[in-house]
């Protein structure tokens, strides 16, 4: 019994001292099916209301990620295709559920990804009209939970910081997400090496000047979560992030006195969101 405990202790110690390279497989990775889920709670912050309004909603998606092209610079071009979508909310009708599901289902998109996970050259397969909520933009949900990996080997305890950018299309603004990571664990299961990472993120919510509904944050929106990465095969297994921030939603309306003037009505909101992305194939 004592020898067995000693062996287990030595194995744990060796795993903690092990160094591994973290990199996405962008050259010959097979298709991967993901489940993407977003749960969001929105609380209106109106000091004049004793019982401020709230809304709970849930978006559940099944996605397929396919490698379209592998490039000589080590990057690859990927297609994310929406296989199915389901939406629910305690403040919307069934007809609105179906409308949102059709909208989200049209958001197939492509992007170029480097081996560290940076995404660029993003394009939609078909034009998707701007919806009233940025939280129904699959690209941005995907971005928030996607890890950005370091260029040098890591071991348990190693930490790094990266900035993740997705350039906005047409009139939409760029989204910069600042990310911090730390290796919490390295373990082997079924002959495959995995890394469990702690992840913190922060970003500023911004909307374009032409949008009717604009969602903006005065400061940073903060989030924390974790990532499980398949080191041996270079693929994401699971990512979970919980985000907390205060957002102001503004609606642009024409002023009655002058049709060319713009009046704004605003709503202060406390937003709590949980996003999870996990591979099922």
Per-residue pLDDT averaged across 83-91, rounded? 91
The backbone torsions φ and ψ at residue 100, rounded to the nearest 5 degrees and listed phi first, read -65, -40
For residue 8, what pLDDT is reported? 47
pLDDT tens for 172-216 read 556 788 999 999 999 999 999 999 999 999 988 776 555 555 677
Complete DSSP assignment for 141-165: HHHHH-----SS-B-TT-EEEEEEE
For residue 86, what pLDDT is reported? 94
- pLDDT surpasses 70 at 97: yes
> Residue 53 CB: number of other CB atoms within 10 A?
12
For residue 210, what pLDDT is reported? 53
Query: Could you give the CA distance from residue 55 to residue 251 in angstroms, rounded to a whole number?
Result: 18
> Which sign does the torsion angle of CA 253, 90, 203, 129 carry?
negative
pLDDT tens for 209-254 read 555 556 777 788 899 999 999 999 999 999 999 999 888 776 665 5
Domains, the chain, in order of start with CATH, read 19-279 (2.30.230)
Higher pLDDT, 185 or 15: 185
What residues form DSSP beta bridges with 15?
none
Query: Could you give the CA distance from residue 148 to residue 161 in angstroms, rounded to a whole number?
Result: 9
CB 52 within 8 A of CB 45: yes
């Amino acid at each position: 019994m004592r020898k067995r405990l000693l062996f287990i202790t030595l194995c744990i110690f060796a795993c903690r001292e092990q160094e591994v390279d973290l990199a996405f497989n962008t050259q010959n990775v097979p298709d991967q099916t993901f489940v993407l889920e977003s749960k969001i709670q929105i609380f209106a912050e109106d000091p004049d209301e004793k019982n401020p309004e709230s809304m709970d909603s849930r978006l559940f998606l099944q996605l397929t990620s396919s490698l379209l092209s592998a490039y000589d610079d080590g990057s690859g071009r990927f297609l994310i295709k929406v296989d199915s979508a389901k939406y629910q909310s305690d403040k919307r009708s069934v007809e609105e559920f179906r409308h949102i599901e059709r909208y989200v289902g049209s958001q197939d998109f492509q992007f170029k990804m480097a081996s560290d996970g940076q995404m660029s050259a993003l394009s939609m397969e078909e034009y998707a009209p701007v919806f009233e909520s940025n939280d129904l933009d699959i690209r941005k949900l995907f971005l928030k939970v996607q890890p950005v990996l370091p260029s040098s080997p890591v071991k348990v305890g190693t930490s790094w910081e990266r900035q993740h950018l997705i350039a906005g299309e047409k009139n939409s603004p760029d989204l910069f997400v600042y990310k911090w990571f730390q290796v919490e664990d390295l373990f082997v299961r079924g002959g495959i090496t995995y890394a469990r990472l702690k992840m913190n993120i922060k970003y500023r919510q911004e909307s374009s000047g032409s949008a009717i509904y604009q969602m903006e944050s005065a400061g940073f929106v903060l989030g924390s979560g974790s990532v499980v990465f398949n080191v041996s095969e270079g693929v994401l297994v699971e990512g979970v992030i919980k985000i907390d921030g205060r957002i102001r939603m503004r609606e642009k309306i024409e002023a009655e006195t002058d049709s060319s003037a713009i009046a704004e009505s605003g709503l202060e909101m406390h937003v709590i969101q949980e996003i999870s992305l996990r591979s099922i194939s």
